Copies of this chain bind each other. A is one copy, B any other.
């Protein structure tokens, strides 16, 4: 492709290391779509005649037909997907194919392709996140009123509803989706027309081309256009944070699935056994979810290290952007549906959960009971601390202290304190927004459903844009 200035062919090992076709073949569809757009833009800029443009687009259309099996399109001798498509087009059209490369460069092509790929594939990932959200939401609905201990510091703290707990893992994913949407916007700036670095020297209408390809607009500086990988870093960060959220959900489920907690039981379809211990049922799916937060963080850190200190608009180091992007994407695209299935398939043991709500968990409620009788909270807290100490020293539940014993600690206690030890009472008090009272959780479920509706996986605008780009591509392929 750059041959005539070079007297010697590339060293075979160097060539193998340098070639990217082994992974950038995944950009084939985007390469063809962007090329069709470019042929059309060159025609409108007067660089190609209508006939030339038509022929080129027809040639690209032919290549496009084999896209379902992109691995069949390329050979080891190709350097990258750009070389592949150019070779195939030349085999089909001869020297005319060489006109397509006017005014563009692999520098702006690869950045364009990668952005298009991400824009094309983000909706499916978003849907996978929604799939897990739906599973959490459905569990929340069906497990709504099951009482369980809420934990801080892995210590039982206060009673909550299981429905409330499930939802606490819904909202982080909703924030993740807001980030994915922002990634889409960062990706949707078109570099095509930046050429090698200085901009295209033909009167190409970049605004129109951007719109036709489904971008929000062209980038505004050609050097930045070929250098900018912010959108990859942003995606990897969003992916790492999704991984972080999944690791926290997974950790909790693993804990709750231990025999000692006994709250959850893994479904056979999502657990594995042991090659040695016949009695084992292991929560492998959740362990893998937790462990995979590692490679996701690693992909982000790796890209940031690669980007550090790059001096010129395009340096070959940037080739290292694709593998972490593809790997992080594939990892999540595979993991999320499995997790959704595993969440749905979990068996809950409400009686174990209820049994774990020991009377001590209502200590704060008892303190509040004193507050209601005019005791400052700090003093009430102190009284209850001593009550807990007393109960433990007697090896008795807190709720079994006699009224006399309680009065010995503070005179404000009265017989009605007994009902405070009912966890339903504790939960029912927390009706403020975000609280664990049944009606608050019902309201929260409704809010969650609204949030999903307001941020649909494939929003109208994007869907329309993609359809338009698809349609435009079709027309470009056929129109004069």
Neighbour of A3 across the interface among B151, B271, B385, CB < 8 A: B385
Whether B198 and A259, one on each chain, are in contact in the complex, defined by CB atoms closer than 8 angstroms, is no
Whether B381 and A195, one on each chain, are in contact in the complex, defined by CB atoms closer than 8 angstroms, is no
Chain B: minimal CB distance from A243 (Å): 8
- A310: nearest chain-B partner, CB-CB: B248
- A100: nearest chain-B partner, CB-CB: B377
> Does A71 lie at the interface of the complex (its beta carbon under 8 Å from any beta carbon of B)?
no
User: Bound state CA distance, A215 and B289, in angstroms?
Assistant: 33
> Does A350 lie at the interface of the complex (its beta carbon under 8 Å from any beta carbon of B)?
no
> Does A440 lie at the interface of the complex (its beta carbon under 8 Å from any beta carbon of B)?
yes
> Does A411 lie at the interface of the complex (its beta carbon under 8 Å from any beta carbon of B)?
no
B residues in contact with A299, CB < 8 Å: 298, 302
B residues in contact with A228, CB < 8 Å: 171-172, 175
User: Bound state CA distance, A267 and B241, in angstroms?
Assistant: 35
Known: A273-B1, A278-B4, A364-B278. A16 touches B334 (CB 8 A): yes
Chain B: minimal CB distance from A420 (Å): 11
User: Bound state CA distance, A151 and B142, in angstroms?
Assistant: 32
B residues in contact with A376, CB < 8 Å: 95-99
* Chain-B contact segment, one of A60-68, A115-123, A249-257, A460-468: A249-257
Neighbour of A384 across the interface among B179, B278, B345, CB < 8 A: B278
Known: A269-B10, A381-B275. A305 touches B320 (CB 8 A): no
> Does A284 lie at the interface of the complex (its beta carbon under 8 Å from any beta carbon of B)?
yes
* Chain-B contact segment, one of A29-37, A354-362, A469-477: A354-362
State which residues 183-205 of A face B: CB under 8 Å.
Answer: 186, 193-204
Known: A152-B197, A171-B221. A308 touches B315 (CB 8 A): no
> Does A14 lie at the interface of the complex (its beta carbon under 8 Å from any beta carbon of B)?
yes
B residues in contact with A154, CB < 8 Å: 254-255, 257-258, 283, 311-312, 315
- A158: nearest chain-B partner, CB-CB: B198
> Does A316 lie at the interface of the complex (its beta carbon under 8 Å from any beta carbon of B)?
yes
> Does A394 lie at the interface of the complex (its beta carbon under 8 Å from any beta carbon of B)?
no
Whether B291 and A306, one on each chain, are in contact in the complex, defined by CB atoms closer than 8 angstroms, is yes
Known: A16-B334, A168-B223. A106 touches B298 (CB 8 A): no
> Does A260 lie at the interface of the complex (its beta carbon under 8 Å from any beta carbon of B)?
yes
- A104: nearest chain-B partner, CB-CB: B276
Neighbour of A275 across the interface among B82, B259, B360, CB < 8 A: B82
User: Bound state CA distance, A11 and B337, in angstroms?
Assistant: 11
User: Bound state CA distance, A169 and B225, in angstroms?
Assistant: 11
User: Bound state CA distance, A277 and B382, in angstroms?
Assistant: 10
Q: Can you list the 6 inter-chain pairs with the closest CB atoms, starting with the nearest?
A: A298-B302, A199-B435, A2-B273, A291-B317, A294-B306, A98-B378
